[in-house]
Structure 1
Amino acid sequence: MISIKDLTKVFRFDQKEIKAVDHLSLTIEDGDIFGVIGYSGAGKSTFIRLLNRLEDPTSGQVTIQGKNITAMKKNELRIARQDIGMIFQHFNLLWSRTVRENIAFPLEIAGVPAKEREDRVKELIELVGLAGRENAYPSQLSGGQKQRVGIARALANNPKVLLCDEATSALDPETTDSILDLLIDINERLGLTIILITHEMHVIKKICNRVAVMEKGKIVEQGDVLDVFLKPKQPVTKKFVEQVMGDSDGDLSQLLDVYTSGRVVRLHFVGDSANQALISQLSKEFEIEVNILQGKITQTKLGAYGTLVVQINGSDREINNTIQFITEKTTVEVEVLTHA
């Protein structure tokens, strides 16, 4: 488990103080894929660098698997960092070294014998899908291939935690998906904990189990990814959800002006309920007409999530029975937007 308590980082410039991380507390379970999302300047890159002491905190504590990272001396920290791999936005590869030599570099620093080092590098090259590119230099690789080298290098010492600092933001969408698929595979195969920071909600929904939203150095919202998608509480979280779902409220007022008969309701689908043929079922069960006005369903790692805005026409009694049926007999949440 990773325990972060009251973590703070203050930078001082020209007699001014900038609080990049502000009394932040989090708990991350072993084996989780935990996302931290925030806009530029939220403090997320500083936060992740505090976890392995690339930045020293001003105050607070980071404990990883029972070890207080923040209290360690240099020699202790050097050993502890072997359990914490890190991959970067711009790869940070050694341009004068081949793929094989880049991956071997942390093993050389750790003093691993040559034969053991060679075997481990070969294993990692296979794991990240770079077989046949062992002798290529970074300048001969695509962005996705460079990041695969970075991932392999981060895994060299068999870490228990992998930190990902905007690991896909320099990549195109297709390459991003392939790297995220690789991280999911690594998490499942090796059982290591992944902490991933990003400004892209697509990354969170595809790979993460839990997410924390950062703003001005603080965690303003956190929870299971599906819960955050379903009921974002903070304005900044709602903006991130709109990256994936679109701004459904933007056109809603116009719809309500046009569709004035019956009742307009918003149906919130989550998990398996998003795949139910609910509209067809309602039309068969009740003497109503259902018109779909607006909607979108998206897939997260833990299941589907989405909303449908529908107009229900019929007698008051049938409409009330329909809404009661949805509320009591399904896992779909109903929000009535207009009344007859």
Structure 2
Amino acid sequence: MISIKGLSKVFTFNNKKLTAVDNLTLDIKEGEIFGVIGYSGAGKSTFIRLLNRLEEPTQGDILIDKQEITTLSANQLRLARQDIGMIFQHFNLLWSRTVKDNIAFPLEIAGIPKAKREERVQELIDLVGLTGRENAYPSQLSGGQKQRVGIARALANNPKVLLCDEATSALDPETTNAILDLLVDINKKLGLTIILITHEMHVIRKICHQVAVMEQGKMVEQGNVLEVFSNPIAQVTKKFVAQVMGTADEGEDIKSLQEMYTDGKLIHLHFVGESTNQTLISQIAKKFPIDINILQGKITQTQAGGYGTLFVQMIGEEEEINKAVVFIRDETSAEVEVIENVN
């Protein structure tokens, strides 16, 4: 669906050059939700604006549905943008227009007859959950409702791609989750390809299939969300994963557990994908004559499955504890690490 090769954007300020996007190459499949995450200044907003040429690339190629975006004339680009919807952090609504008139605006520009406009607008109002608010003005709407208008407007011309520029960062957590659920619903119902940029790993975890991590204009890591969560490589990725998993102070946690629980062995378990659904603790307790004390842990879900970590204390004969550890390693898909034998 989308193929990007050697994409760069260089800004010049006071005769000094700043590379905001640095030689990016990636492919995005049709119908997937692709997340781009990075801290402020990473270049992610510039990247997404390059895709519909709200920013002109310095170099590189952007192929969307077999059409080379970077070579289009102004008139050709205007038509191509009808296939590329976009929603923004601060909604960008027309404050003098009602909900239905905001949604109808791109249809008016496209020259769609009034009867068809009204039919399409009502479809979109129902789709995004704004039935009954058709005649309200933006000043009368909550933040979540405003973003629903923005989403409906972006979908007006039946685009093939939806670009989301920090679409939830101005919303509270509950509203954010509602908007993310709406995007997932739209993705499934319409088969829409969604590219979403954010600085929040929670957003990536909740709805994305693939993720690319940006730092200083470069893509430093990319892959399936579950794989990136379970095995982050770049330091910046590890920081983002720690935000969601609460593993930033894991070293301190281990030290505290070692001091508090001095019997038996301290075991660190990692669960990925289907292994999160295994009744592992129950199996071990039934199979081996040892006591198991669950100390702390967390499981989080992604679109591709779960990922989690768990600390347990195993108390009993050392031989039986060792057998249990071998069983986990050889007979289950969970990963196991013996932190310390304190006996």
Is the TM-score greater than 0.5? yes
The amino acid that maps onto 1:329 is E
What is the alpha-carbon distance in structure 2 between the residues aligned to residue 256 and residue 22 of structure 1? Answer: 45
SS of residue paired to 1:85:
strand
The amino acid that maps onto 1:282 is I
Equivalent residue for 1:273, pick from 263, 272, 275: 275
Equivalent residue for 2:254, pick from 248, 252, 265: 252
The amino acid that maps onto 1:209 is H
What is the alpha-carbon distance in structure 2 between the residues aligned to residue 19 and residue 253 of structure 1? Answer: 43
The amino acid that maps onto 2:283 is Q
* Aligned positions of 1:170-319 closer than 5 A: 170-246=170-246, 247=248, 248-319=250-321
What is the alpha-carbon distance in structure 1 between the residues aligned to residue 60 and residue 14 of structure 2? Answer: 24
**Which residue of structure 2 lines up, in the alignment, with residue 86 of structure 1?**
86
What is the alpha-carbon distance in structure 1 between the residues aligned to residue 340 and residue 34 of structure 2? Answer: 38
**Which residue of structure 2 lines up, in the alignment, with residue 72 of structure 1?**
72
**Which residue of structure 1 lines up, in the alignment, with residue 108 of structure 2?**
108
The amino acid that maps onto 2:257 is L
User: Could you tell me how far 1:260 is from its partner in structure 2?
Assistant: 4.5
What is the alpha-carbon distance in structure 2 between the residues aligned to residue 335 and residue 155 of structure 1? Answer: 48
The amino acid that maps onto 2:322 is N
User: Could you tell me how far 1:33 is from its partner in structure 2?
Assistant: 0.5
SS of residue paired to 1:18:
strand
Bigger drift between 74-83 and 158-167 goes to 74-83
RMSD: 1.3
Could you report, residue by residue, the CA deviation over 1:76-110 in whole angstroms, capped at 9, with x for unpaired residues? 11111111000000000011111111111111111
User: Could you tell me how far 1:261 is from its partner in structure 2?
Assistant: 4.2
**Which residue of structure 2 lines up, in the alignment, with residue 32 of structure 1?**
32
What is the alpha-carbon distance in structure 1 between the residues aligned to residue 252 and residue 188 of structure 2? Answer: 39
User: Could you tell me how far 1:321 is from its partner in structure 2?
Assistant: 1.5
What is the alpha-carbon distance in structure 2 between the residues aligned to residue 4 and residue 92 of structure 1? Answer: 27
TM-score (norm 2): 0.96
Bigger drift between 263-272 and 157-166 goes to 263-272
User: Could you tell me how far 1:339 is from its partner in structure 2?
Assistant: 4.2
Could you report, residue by residue, the CA deviation over 1:29-57 in whole angstroms, capped at 9, with x for unpaired residues? 00001111111111100000001100011
Residue correspondences, number: 340
Structure 1: runs of 5+ lacking an equivalent = none
User: Could you tell me how far 1:258 is from its partner in structure 2?
Assistant: 4.2
* Aligned positions of 1:150-169 closer than 5 A: 150-169=150-169
The reply to whether residue 56 of structure 1 matches residue 51 of structure 2 is no
Bigger drift between 253-262 and 54-63 goes to 253-262
SS of residue paired to 1:319:
helix
What is the alpha-carbon distance in structure 1 between the residues aligned to residue 318 and residue 64 of structure 2? Answer: 58
SS of residue paired to 1:295:
strand
What is the alpha-carbon distance in structure 2 between the residues aligned to residue 105 and residue 184 of structure 1? Answer: 25
Structure 2: runs of 5+ lacking an equivalent = none
User: Could you tell me how far 1:70 is from its partner in structure 2?
Assistant: 1.1
**Which residue of structure 1 lines up, in the alignment, with residue 5 of structure 2?**
5
**Which residue of structure 2 lines up, in the alignment, with residue 321 of structure 1?**
323
User: Could you tell me how far 1:206 is from its partner in structure 2?
Assistant: 0.8
Could you report, residue by residue, the CA deviation over 1:221-275 in whole angstroms, capped at 9, with x for unpaired residues? 1111111111111111111111111123332223234445433221111223213
The amino acid that maps onto 1:233 is I
Could you report, residue by residue, the CA deviation over 1:169-204 in whole angstroms, capped at 9, with x for unpaired residues? 001111111111110110000001000001111111
What is the alpha-carbon distance in structure 1 between the residues aligned to residue 177 and residue 186 of structure 2? Answer: 14
User: Could you tell me how far 1:287 is from its partner in structure 2?
Assistant: 2.0
The amino acid that maps onto 1:185 is D
The amino acid that maps onto 1:251 is D
